[in-house]
A and B are shown apart, each in its own frame.
Chain A
Amino acid sequence: MSIAVSRPLFRHPHRQGGAHRPTYLNSSMARPFYLNYTQSPRPIFNDACSLSSRHFKPAKALSLRASSIDTAVVETSESSDVVFSETFQLKRSEKVDGKITIRLESGNNDDNWQLTVGCCLPGKWILHWGVNYLGDVGSEWDQPPPDMRPPGSITIKDYAIETPLEKSLASSEGESIYEVKIDFNTNSAIAAINFVLKDEETGSWYQHRGRDFKVLLIDCLQDEGNIVGAKKGLGIWPGPLGQISNILLKSEAANSKEDIGERSSQKRGLQGFYEEQAVVKETLVDNSVSVSVRHCLETAKNLLNIETDLPGDVIVHWGICKDEGKTWEIPSEPYPPETSMFKDKALRTRLQRKNGGHGSSGSFILDEGSVAFVFVLKLNENTWLNCHGNDFYIPLSNISVPAIQSGQTHSEDEGQNNESSSLLISGNASEENQEVSAYTDEIIDEIRNLVTDISSEKSRKTKNTKARESILQEIEKLAAEAYSIFRSSIPTFIETDLIKEVALEPPVKITSGTGSGFEILCQGFNWESHKSGKWYIDLREKASKLASLGFTVIWLPPPTDSVSPEGYMPTDLYNLNSRYGNIDELKILVKELHKVGIRILGDVVLNHRCAQYKNQNGIWNIFGGRLNWDDRAVVADDPHFQGRGNKSSGDNFHAAPNIDHSQEFVRKDIKEWLHWLREEIGYDGWRLDFVRGFWGGYVKDYLEATEPYFAVGEYWDSLSYTYGEMDHNQDAHRQRIIDWINATNGTAGAFDVTTKGILHSALGRCEYWRLSDGKGKPPGVVGWWPSRAVTFIENHDTGSTQGHWRFPGGKEIQGYAYILTHPGTPSVFYDHIFSEYQSEISTLLSIRTRNKINCRSTVKIVKAERDVYAAMIDEKVAMKIGPGHYEPSNGSRNWSLAAEGRDYKVWETS
């Protein structure tokens, strides 16, 4: 055990004699939030109060040495009276090393497996866990099936379970082990188990490299860097996994001890493993400091004694009060040995180590003129101990008695002064770490304003503008949320508005939501593209081909340095050397693409960012690189990351710290970064990752600041199903996407997930009737706000090697026949372009271009029956998909067949 960080935590003082004498200590303002600091998981208060001890570097022993003990100065006198004696309990937290063990093993038969999570540290351990099901998209947790939940489990919201760890008898080295066993069947549709550990005693959360522990149960590679346990091959790390571990080693070499042993027999790709993770637990340690005061009648001096059992060097940072205001003053000499002056404001005296080596003590001689002795204790550069957030206040001599007895009211009156003297201390501390304390002061100010309901003019005036702003923002966000819910219950409300708006828009006008309106998108990568290590170079050769096919915009993979090789777990945003190539190769590619007339979308991940450093709790929430944000940039409502920002304005992505876009400095930095990407690299626009995670209003802010040529957001959530059947009416789903677009003020389009989902059912199950909504319009986003819908049938997540939500096999061209003839801005997936489908896609693309079909084209649905869907677009193009029959009637117009294939036909007027 070693002391690393100590926090000022106190109990009420235990009296030893002199109890009849009330003191300031008891009557000083109660600060209950100090007491419960580590107890609750994340109240804002606690976070704020702990600031003074945040960002602490690991403890370093003071290099000072105890000098020889010299007690000569201390005069004892027979005639002295003990006028004060009290022992204050001190609570500090200490760090204890331990380990978390994770064992996956097969049970009594091959299909039954067991996951055991254990911890060797004492505590009230809770496993907070959830699962991913097969085919789940994203990394949101789900609740496990009931039969998987061990006894004693309780459900947390609708996505997690909490199961207490039991003390296990099977301890190997005599130490107690707490563990929990989760039994599951490999035949169940569970893809992964995710968990974090919580210690109820301290309220701390324990994670794996700053993210959830993840145990994969299937062979699906989704390496976000937080997977524990090997998946394939005995003792040999396959390529990608090896790379991960290298990356991780870089960032966290010392802290993780991987021990891959006990591999049991392989079954369905699942294999057992045993792993240990080092953890550090903070425990509270009780110490005390005793203060006694003797009054010496002969010398008319007070002799004050401080004794403590605190280990190591203890420095008393002290002063005296000469009147009842609690202003610190420097007493006259003599001072005890090893005393130094601190900035004319206080004295610092190092206590003498006791002979036994345990604890230390010191004596102070004080003139009778002083009212009180005030002090705080300093253990090391960063660790201070005070009394309930106030200075220790020791009343001296008889003069002070009346004042003390009026303690209650007096102390309240003196609240301001009292606090300003504690501020003095933090001011001093800021010498060591200026930045931190400056912020600390601010927070302390804020808390004080809140807690003490101040009525003084001064505090009212300085009413913290930040607090007010954040409340207004909070109200705004809440109102926006309430609005979107209320409104979605009446979807027709917006529909009419939008139709009007679309009709009013001039046909060709470049806006970031639509580009020119005639854009055709190419998703220029898949889930494997990072593997070559030279994707930018590979893609360069395809530039002219893409242009000749008719693409006007290409979406490139996320360019930043990332924990996962695909780029979606960004770390240093300004480091553009990624698995796809380095920054120079990227610049050359962009130049080439521009040369052939293709504009470039950068895939920017704004929702979350992987931290590079841990905070003092061992939580990964301190960022590195040029944007070296700290936990203020992290949203506060994901307990895993202990963010100190505001609550998230959207959904949480649980695998990494979610960025708090409500912070001005975050937005300023992001805007700067986007500007830099535009200027340095030449990006024309953005594909915005996981925009469900934050409010669309912030996206609007970013887009207005960076004026992209085109922007599209990934707002991906689940469609509605009843009894496993997809509902015909997906209005609520598309409304949510529309609401997001609306929140961006139409400055961005959004991927039309609704259309993809409906195409799945329509094409996959021969239910083509689904392709018309109740009002004879396309049932996806494209039916309500076509100009902002980016239609697609597959992307790197849904298809490719991930296959989270794959388009029905063999029906892809029908899907393209739909989206490439319909309004909206279609996006074609790289895998489909460079496949046997190329010629068919090429034909469809040329039909679109030739007939000037654009994002605002009009569509008239002619047929939406069980086995056939037919529509006419801009009265220039007719199409049908499905095995059923349809021919456009040759009335006034002369239709000629332009494309034909399996279950689809497209005609144009000639």
Chain B
Amino acid sequence: MIWHAKSSSGVTLKAFNVRAEAALISEKASKITTTRPIDGVKLYVGLPLDTVSDSGTINNARAIAVGLKALKLLGVDGVELPVWWGIVEKQAMGKYDWTCYLALAEMVRKMGLKLHISLCFHASNEPKIRLPEWVSHIGESRPDIYFADRSGQPYKDCLSLAVDDLPVLDGKTPIEAYTGFCESFKSSFSAFMGSTITGISIGLGPDGELRYPSQRQTTKDSNQLGAGEFQCYDKNMLSNLKQHAEALGNPLWGLGGPHDTPGYDQSPVSNGFFVDGGSWENPYGDFFLSWYSSQLVSHGDRILSRAAETFKDVSVSLSGKVPLTYSWYRTRSHPSELTAGVYNTVNRDGYEAIAETFSRNSCNIILPGMDLSDDHQPNESRSSPELLLAQITASCRKHGVEVSGQNSLVSGGPKAIEQIKKNLSDENAVELFTYQRMGAYFFSPDHFPSFTQFVRNLKQLNLHSDDLPLKDDETADSLPDMNLHKQVA
């Protein structure tokens, strides 16, 4: 009887089987799935970004149906579904088409899986998903609704945070548009709220993350070592900066961004701003960086507070994504984080303010990059995903913010999975991990077996081998399934 109290392993295995069979025998499923004695990390798998196509149809519906079933049988808890602004509200403001997403939610419900919705207010390059047509249309005549860099190049994959409260969208502000979207979502999916839909993440910027689009894909060269550029050069940001400087009695500081920052593909140590003892460490630098980062935090607060208000009466958890800007983390100035909008340096913890904002709005933080390990970073980039992850989770813990994890690379391979396991097995580990992402590679013979293995390991992370019950029984069972032996050993 001792084993029963101590170990979830035996129970896990059983639940795996019971639940799996339950899926085969659909009419029994509901009864049996309720008995789920597994605690620990919940595992979700992201659905393809282009699950619903630009033209409003479900891509590879059959494959998704089959995939869902496979996940269910494996014992995965749920799936994550990206819901795109540019698809749902494509034609005109306030005209929402949820048809495909509703169908998908129903598919997920029927399969007995949970659903995490990611509301995406940004555009995607690969696969190509745009902002709503009517927004792009406005952007053609008013490019200042987008972020701009020093050379004035607009970033057209999301709106600038400086227009959050400006009525640039046919008399409405972007915040109002986002809120309207959330409200329509809530009422359209009311039947799924709290039952199938367990969580919603709110898009906060580029790729949904709370950051500036400081890195631009200028070239296909992935070895880009630059720290990115500040994105404070659209009309509204500049005027905002100007006002701020004047208010502080330093009008000259508000004439533009810093003059000595390196370009996208220049090393951050090649110019004055980020070098040790550079501008970042002087009063001007502090002025600028404080303003730049506070703009971002306020933006996050604006969106999250409205979302929290919208979803306050449904039992779903809200979350937002915080970037893991890990390159140059081992330098003193953390230039990549600075351009991305997090004022985090050797002297200052920039994640406190962010965690505090999330905490105030009772939102969880989604952290990507749980698959990245320091060992595989190029030396010259001085980066450390692991240290940064540790810093952010510490801030979250301090402010009582729950953390959900994600992996960054879709095709990370076995090493990535090892790293994820390592991150998840930490004490105070994340509540939920979303594995990105379903697709051809995911199901390929190169990848799927290791994922299967991962799922099974995940369900027994907290156990040491000597906690495992009836070890000899398992082996004596002569199971053809070698995975089981491995995880016992």
Contacts and interface: CB of A to CB of B under 8 A. Distances in A.
A490 interface: yes
A531 to B, nearest CB: 43
A190 to B, nearest CB: 28
Contact of A465 (B10, B444, B479): B479
Interface in A462-491: 463-465, 467-469, 471-472, 474-475, 478-483, 485-487, 489-490
B10 A486 contact: no
Interface in B1-57: 3-4, 10-11, 13-14, 17-18, 20-22, 24-25, 27-28, 32, 35, 48
Interface string B140-173: 0000000000000000000000000000000000
Contact of B17 (A471, A480, A481, A493): A471
A43 interface: yes
A469 B480 contact: yes
Contacts of A45: 25, 28
B13 A463 contact: yes
A284 B252 CA distance: 94
A725 interface: no
A485 B440 CA distance: 8
Most buried by B among A454, A479, A493: A479
A474 B22 CA distance: 13
A482 B73 contact: no
Interface in B171-198: none
Contacts of B48: 486
A478 B479 contact: no
A468 B28 contact: no
A461 B473 contact: yes
A457 interface: yes
Given A455-B4, A463-B17, A485 B62 contact: yes
A469 B478 CA distance: 12
A450 interface: yes
A276 B17 CA distance: 48
Interface string A481-509: 11101110110010000000000000000
A474 B24 contact: yes
B66 A482 contact: yes
Given A463-B17, A467-B17, A487-B440, A478 B60 contact: no
B221 interface: no
B284 interface: no
Given A43-B25, A45-B28, A461-B473, A486 B440 contact: yes
B67 A478 contact: yes
Interface residue SS majority, chain A:
helix
Nearest to B22: A450
B28 A451 contact: yes
A474 B470 CA distance: 27
Nearest to A45: B25
Interface of A: 43-45, 449-451, 453-455, 457, 460-461, 463-465, 467-469, 471-472, 474-475, 478-483, 485-487, 489-490, 493
Nearest to B480: A469
B439 interface: yes
B477 interface: yes
B63 interface: yes
8 contacts: A44-B24, A450-B18, A451-B28, A460-B13, A461-B473, A464-B17, A483-B440, A486-B440
Contacts of B4: 455, 457
Contacts of B35: 453
B182 to A, nearest CB: 31
A803 B48 CA distance: 43
Contacts of B444: 483, 487
Contact of B10 (A460, A490, A493): A460
Contacts of B479: 465, 468
Contacts of B64: 482
Contacts of A471: 17, 20-21, 24, 73
Given A469-B480, A479-B448, A490 B69 contact: no
Nearest to B21: A450
Nearest to B26: A43
B74 interface: yes
Contact of A475 (B13, B73, B445): B73
Interface of B: 3-4, 10-11, 13-14, 17-18, 20-22, 24-25, 27-28, 32, 35, 48, 59-60, 62-64, 66-67, 69-70, 73-74, 438-440, 442-445, 448, 452, 470, 473, 477-481
B24 A478 contact: no
B481 A469 contact: yes
Contacts of A475: 70, 73-74, 452
B443 A453 contact: no
Nearest to A36: B27
A486 B63 contact: yes
B470 A482 contact: no
Most buried by A among B4, B11, B48, B63: B63
A457 B73 contact: no
B61 to A, nearest CB: 9
Given A471-B73, A479-B443, A479-B448, 16 more contacts: A43-B27, A44-B25, A450-B17, A450-B25, A455-B4, A461-B477, A465-B478, A468-B481, A469-B480, A472-B481, A474-B20, A475-B74, A478-B70, A480-B443, A482-B64, A489-B440
A49 B478 CA distance: 27
B66 A465 contact: no
B21 A467 contact: yes
Most buried by A among B32, B69, B440, B477: B440
B66 A490 contact: no
A460 B17 CA distance: 10
Contacts of A457: 3-4, 470
B403 to A, nearest CB: 29
Contacts of A43: 25, 27
Contacts of B477: 461, 465
A468 B481 CA distance: 9
B487 to A, nearest CB: 14
Given A472-B481, A474-B24, A475-B70, A485 B60 contact: yes
Contacts of B443: 479-480, 482-483, 486
Q: Please list the 8 inter-chain residue pairs (A to B) with the smallest Cβ-Cβ separation, ordered nearest first.
A: A485-B63, A483-B443, A478-B70, A486-B440, A482-B67, A487-B440, A471-B20, A482-B63
A525 B442 CA distance: 45
Nearest to A489: B60
A34 to B, nearest CB: 14
A673 B10 CA distance: 41
A318 B321 CA distance: 68
A36 B5 CA distance: 38
A450 B24 CA distance: 11
A598 to B, nearest CB: 36
B448 A463 contact: no
Most buried by B among A449, A457, A485: A485
Nearest to B63: A485
A897 B66 CA distance: 55
A489 B17 contact: no
A478 B17 contact: no
A483 B448 contact: yes
Contacts of B74: 475
A619 to B, nearest CB: 22
Contacts of B452: 475
B69 A478 contact: yes
Contact of A482 (B11, B17, B70): B70
A489 B59 contact: yes
B366 to A, nearest CB: 25
B345 to A, nearest CB: 43
A483 B60 CA distance: 11
Contacts of B28: 45, 450-451
A348 to B, nearest CB: 36
Nearest to A474: B73
Contacts of B67: 478-479, 482
A480 B448 CA distance: 9
Nearest to B484: A468
Given A45-B28, A474-B24, A480-B443, A486 B480 contact: no
